[in-house]
Structure 1
Amino acid sequence: MSEQLPTRQGFQRSPVQIAYAEALIEGISQTGKLHFVEGDTGIGKSLAYQLVLADWVAKGKLMGGQQAARRALISTHSRTLQRQLLQPGNLAIIQDYLAAARLPQVSFALRMGRENYLSPERLMLNLGVTQLEDALDNRHLPSTHQRLAQWALENDGCLLDLDPAMLPDGWRLSDIALRHSDPMPESLEVLHEQAQQSDILVINHALLAVDLVTRGKITQAESPYALLLDEAEHYPEIAEELLSHRVSLKTATQLLEQLKQHRLAKQWRNLLENMTHREYAGSAHGLTPYQSEALQEAVTALLKLRLREHSHEAALWREWQHLCQGAEQIATRLRESSRYLVLDYSPVLGLPGVVAHAPSAASSLKSGASERVTMLTSATLSDLDHAPGETPNFRYMRSRLQLPVTHKRSGLQRSFQAQQFGSIRFRLPRELPHPLAQKESGEYGLSQPFARTVVPYLVDQPGRTLVLCASYTDVTVLAAHWPVEHSDRLMAHQPGMGLSEVMAKLDKDTILLTPAGWEGLSPDREDDQAYWQHLVVLRNPRPILSQVEQHLVEQLLRRRDVSEQDATRIAKGMLQRKTRFERCISSVRGWGAPFVIPMTRSW
Structure 2
Amino acid sequence: MHPVIHYLSEILPKRPGFQRNPVQIAYAEALVDGLKEQGKLHFVEGDTGIGKSLAYQLVLADWVAKGKHMGGKQAARRALISTHSRALQRQLLQPDNLAIVRDYLHHAQLPLLSFALRMGRENYLNPERLALNLGVVSLESAAEDSHLPAAHRRLARWALKSDGCLLDLDPAWLPEGWQLRDIALRPTDPLPESLETQHQAAQQSDILVINHALLAVDLVTQGKITQAEAPYALLLDEAEHYPEIAEELLSERISLQSATHLLKQLKQHRVVKQWQSLLDNMTERERAGSAHSLTPYQSEAMQAAVTALLKLRPRESSHDPALWREWQHLRQGAEKIAARLREASRYLVLDYSPVLGLPGIVAHAPSAASSLKAGAKERVTFMTSATLSDLDHAPGEIPNFRYMRSRLQLPVTHKRSGLQRSFQAQRFGTLRFRLPRALPHPLSPQENGDYRLANHFCQQALPYITDQLGRTLVLCASYADVAALEAAWPLEQVHRLVAHHPGMGLSEVVAKLEKDAILLTPAGWEGLSPSREDNQAYWQHLVVVRNPRPMLSQVEQHLVEQLLHRRDVPEEDAKRIANGMLQRKNTVRTLHKLRQGLGRAIRHPDDDVLVTLLEPRIPRPSGYPPREGVYVRQTLLGAIPARFMRAYQSAEEPGGKETEGTTPNQALAALL
Distance 1:319 1:510, change over 3 A: closer
The answer to whether structure 1 residue 581 and structure 2 residue 591 are counterparts is yes
Q: Residues of 1 paired with 2:482 and 2:257: CA distance? A: 34
For 2:666, the equivalent position in structure 1 comes to none
Report the secondary structure of 2:473's partner residue: strand
Give the residue type in structure 2 aligned to 1:376: M
Q: Residues of 2 paired with 1:168 and 1:97: CA distance? A: 46
The match for 1:160 among 153, 162, 167 is: 167
For 1:56, the equivalent position in structure 2 comes to 63
For 1:519, the equivalent position in structure 2 comes to 527
Q: Residues of 2 paired with 1:201 and 1:599: CA distance? A: 38
Q: Residues of 2 paired with 1:444 and 1:124: CA distance? A: 39
Pairwise CA distance, 1:259:
2.1
Report the secondary structure of 1:413's partner residue: strand
The answer to whether structure 1 residue 176 and structure 2 residue 183 are counterparts is yes
Report the secondary structure of 2:433's partner residue: coil
The match for 2:335 among 328, 332, 342 is: 328
The answer to whether structure 1 residue 216 and structure 2 residue 226 are counterparts is no
Q: Residues of 2 paired with 1:40 and 1:315: CA distance? A: 46
For 1:536, the equivalent position in structure 2 comes to 543
For 2:129, the equivalent position in structure 1 comes to 122
Report the secondary structure of 1:519's partner residue: coil
1:503-518 to 2 correspondences below 5 Å: 511=518, 515-516=523-524, 518=526
For 1:426, the equivalent position in structure 2 comes to 434
Pairwise CA distance, 1:260:
2.1
Q: Residues of 2 paired with 1:190 and 1:438: CA distance? A: 49
TM-score, normalised on structure 2? 0.79
1:123-522 to 2 correspondences below 5 Å: 123-419=130-426, 422=430, 424-428=432-436, 431=439, 454-469=461-476, 495-496=504-505, 498=507, 502=510, 511=518, 515-516=523-524, 518-521=526-529
Distance 1:589 1:349, change over 3 A: farther
Report the secondary structure of 2:177's partner residue: coil
Q: Residues of 2 paired with 1:30 and 1:38: CA distance? A: 18
Pairwise CA distance, 1:481:
7.8
For 2:667, the equivalent position in structure 1 comes to none
Q: Residues of 1 paired with 2:208 and 2:79: CA distance? A: 6
Q: Residues of 2 paired with 1:601 and 1:319: CA distance? A: 54
| CA offsets 1:335-391 (integer angstroms, 9 cap, x no match) | 222110001111111111000112222222122211111111122222333333333
Distance 1:578 1:232, change over 3 A: same
Q: Residues of 2 paired with 1:305 and 1:107: CA distance? A: 47
For 1:567, the equivalent position in structure 2 comes to 577
Report the secondary structure of 1:222's partner residue: coil
Query: Is the 2:127–2:183 Cα contact (8 Å) retained in structure 1?
Result: yes
Give the residue type in structure 2 aligned to 1:572: L
Q: Residues of 2 paired with 1:512 and 1:526: CA distance? A: 20
The match for 1:75 among 82, 92, 99 is: 82
Query: Is the 1:77–1:232 Cα contact (8 Å) retained in structure 2?
Result: yes
Q: Residues of 1 paired with 2:294 and 2:577: CA distance? A: 19
Q: Residues of 1 paired with 2:150 and 2:593: CA distance? A: 43
Give the residue type in structure 2 aligned to 1:374: T
Q: Return 414-423 or 125-134, whichever deviates more.
A: 414-423
Q: Residues of 1 paired with 2:231 and 2:221: CA distance? A: 18
Query: Is the 1:40–1:379 Cα contact (8 Å) retained in structure 2?
Result: yes
Report the secondary structure of 1:74's partner residue: strand
Q: Return 275-284 or 314-323, whichever deviates more.
A: 314-323
| CA offsets 1:444-475 (integer angstroms, 9 cap, x no match) | 99888877765543331235533334578877
Report the secondary structure of 2:543's partner residue: strand
The match for 1:30 among 34, 37, 43 is: 37
Query: Is the 1:554–1:571 Cα contact (8 Å) retained in structure 2?
Result: no
Give the residue type in structure 2 aligned to 1:568: A
Distance 1:351 1:225, change over 3 A: same
The match for 2:98 among 91, 99, 121 is: 91
Distance 1:263 1:535, change over 3 A: same
Q: Return 367-376 or 487-496, whichever deviates more.
A: 487-496
Pairwise CA distance, 1:247:
1.0
Query: Is the 1:245–1:326 Cα contact (8 Å) retained in structure 2?
Result: yes
1:36-47 to 2 correspondences below 5 Å: 36-47=43-54
Distance 1:221 1:273, change over 3 A: same
Give the residue type in structure 2 aligned to 1:281: A
Q: Return 251-260 or 445-454, whichever deviates more.
A: 445-454
Report the secondary structure of 1:169's partner residue: coil
TM-score, normalised on structure 1? 0.87
Report the secondary structure of 1:516's partner residue: coil
Give the root-mean-square deviation of aligned CA atoms: 3.6
| CA offsets 1:54-99 (integer angstroms, 9 cap, x no match) | 2222222322222222211000111111111112232233233333
Distance 1:524 1:115, change over 3 A: closer
Give the residue type in structure 2 aligned to 1:207: L
Q: Residues of 2 paired with 1:273 and 1:423: CA distance? A: 56
Query: Is the 1:211–1:217 Cα contact (8 Å) retained in structure 2?
Result: yes
Q: Residues of 1 paired with 2:228 and 2:435: CA distance? A: 49
Give the residue type in structure 1 aligned to 2:435: R
Q: Residues of 2 paired with 1:531 and 1:254: CA distance? A: 49
Q: Residues of 1 paired with 2:453 and 2:163: CA distance? A: 32
Report the secondary structure of 2:526's partner residue: helix
Report the secondary structure of 1:353's partner residue: strand
Pairwise CA distance, 1:225:
1.0
Q: Residues of 1 paired with 2:66 and 2:57: CA distance? A: 14
Give the residue type in structure 2 aligned to 1:65: G
Pairwise CA distance, 1:205:
0.8
Q: Runs of 5+ in structure 2 lacking a partner?
A: 595-612, 619-629, 632-639, 649-672
Q: Residues of 2 paired with 1:140 and 1:222: CA distance? A: 53
Distance 1:448 1:174, change over 3 A: farther
Pairwise CA distance, 1:108:
1.9
Pairwise CA distance, 1:266:
1.8
Pairwise CA distance, 1:51:
1.7
Aligned sequence identity (%): 69
- How many aligned positions are there? 595
Q: Residues of 2 paired with 1:225 and 1:263: CA distance? A: 52
Give the residue type in structure 1 aligned to 2:434: F
Distance 1:226 1:362, change over 3 A: same
Distance 1:439 1:228, change over 3 A: farther
Report the secondary structure of 1:555's partner residue: helix
Distance 1:41 1:436, change over 3 A: farther
For 2:610, the equivalent position in structure 1 comes to none
Give the residue type in structure 1 aligned to 2:280: E
Q: Residues of 2 paired with 1:490 and 1:587: CA distance? A: 21
For 2:109, the equivalent position in structure 1 comes to 102
| CA offsets 1:399-456 (integer angstroms, 9 cap, x no match) | 222222222211111122233555542323655695799999x999988887776554
Pairwise CA distance, 1:202:
0.4
Report the secondary structure of 2:434's partner residue: coil
Pairwise CA distance, 1:110:
0.7
Query: Is the 1:246–1:326 Cα contact (8 Å) retained in structure 2?
Result: yes
Report the secondary structure of 2:584's partner residue: helix
Give the residue type in structure 2 aligned to 1:411: G
Give the residue type in structure 2 aligned to 1:570: G
Distance 1:62 1:167, change over 3 A: same
